[in-house]
A and B are shown apart, each in its own frame.
Chain A
């Protein structure tokens, strides 16, 4: 089976940096994805890691350690519009094909 864990809620201040952690256990690991979801809307893709290390995309960076089953999403220069849920998802390859399993999501509140 697969298990993905994230903190339920986080709060940070506008202009600050926040790190959202994700731990996972899975077989057939084939990539870790981060999505942003505003309330009542569909998730949108933020970042992707398949190899160990840091991937940077503007104000967002994501890190992966496959040996530790661990990833984090780093948000810099926080803005009010960053208040949303952040979903960690693992793609794995099973006997059928590729499967995307999502974590419970972390609800981030950015305060002025």
Chain B
């Protein structure tokens, strides 16, 4: 099936640990995005990437890191520097060009315990 796969769906992290959220797409999309959503809030952009081996910080990049070694993969690491990481994380991808929307994975719930 074509689509965007995020894993794990649920993740618990102890304070001081780094965790990595996986995002894989087989849609041949060039652009990929990571968003964070807190309860009752909108989506805030963490990082985005337009091509392999390149990415840009979004509005709330502090405490997060990403890599784009392959076109289909854009993993997000939540580092121990992120003081309040408990949230719903959404990965999205989309083709370039006017009129093209972005498509979302099912999301990953991260809880700090």
Contact = CB atoms under 8 A, between A and B. Distances in A.
Chains A and B come from one and the same complex = yes
Interface of A: 30-31, 33, 40-45, 48, 50, 87, 89, 96-105, 107
Contacts of B50: 96-98
Nearest to A9: B40
The 9 closest A-B pairs by CB, nearest first: A97-B50, A42-B104, A104-B42, A102-B43, A105-B42, A45-B101, A96-B56, A102-B42, A42-B107
Interface of B: 31, 33, 35, 40-45, 48, 50, 56, 58-59, 88, 90, 92, 94, 96, 98-99, 101-107
Contacts of B48: 97, 99-100
Nearest to A105: B42
B56 A50 contact: no
B107 A33 contact: no
Given A42-B107, A96-B50, A97-B50, A30 B43 contact: no
A103 B102 contact: no
A40 B90 CA distance: 11
Nearest to B106: A42
A97 B99 CA distance: 15
12 contacts: A42-B107, A44-B104, A48-B99, A97-B48, A98-B94, A99-B48, A99-B58, A101-B59, A102-B43, A103-B42, A104-B42, A105-B41
A9 to B, nearest CB: 10
B101 A98 contact: no
A42 B43 contact: no
Contacts of B44: 102
